[in-house]
Amino acid sequence: MRRGSADRPRQGGRPRGILATAAATLAFALALGLELGLIGCATTGKAPASETPKTQVVSVTHIRAHETTETFVCEDPARAQELYDAYLQGVVGDPTDMWATDSDDTVVFTTADGGQIHVSFNAHNLLDGGISHTFDDKGGFWRLLAELDDE
């Protein structure tokens, strides 16, 4: 289900509305947390599963901050779990200097106990403590995320 700025009129190429503002605020807070090293789980050469607990996921929110910011929500527990499991199969690679403007993705997995797991990417590279790491998508994470966004 698509929510947020996608269905609202835009002014000057910028999204309007409370969800767009909330998404931008969340993206800023996550970026600040990453810069300060408060968020992240990347260890080179390991799958995120080695440092992220295997848990039951009930929903997922994708904040895609590319040329515009859009928020996508999936409240289907089976689809959310499938995406989380695909993320856990990926492998964190070496740090990279590659950085792209207008290519940020934040994925928030909500667990059955109400907790949240935040994962941020720039140009499909995993962000951890302000450092960008390559991310080998062995589980089809990006394909599944695109499918959810298209629904």
- Region class of 31: left (phi > 0), else alpha (psi between -120 and 50), else beta: alpha
**DSSP category for residue 112:** T
- Residue 9: count other Cβ atoms within 10 Å of its Cβ: 8
Quick one: which of 27, 151, 34, 21 has its CA closest to 83? 151
Phi, psi (rounded to 5 degrees) for 108: -115, 115
For 106, phi then psi, to 5°, come to -125, 130
Which carries the bigger pLDDT value, residue 105 or residue 54? 105
Residues 58-104 have pLDDT tens digits of: 999 999 999 999 999 999 999 999 999 999 999 999 999 998 998 99
pLDDT at 2 over 60: no
- Give the pLDDT band of residue 130 (cuts 50, 70, 90): confident
What percentage of the chain exceeds 90 in pLDDT?
56
Please determine, for residue 15, whether its predicted confidence score (pLDDT) is greater than 60: no
Domain range summary for the chain, segments of one domain joined by +: 2-150
Average pLDDT over residues 35-59: 61
**pLDDT > 50? residue 30:** no
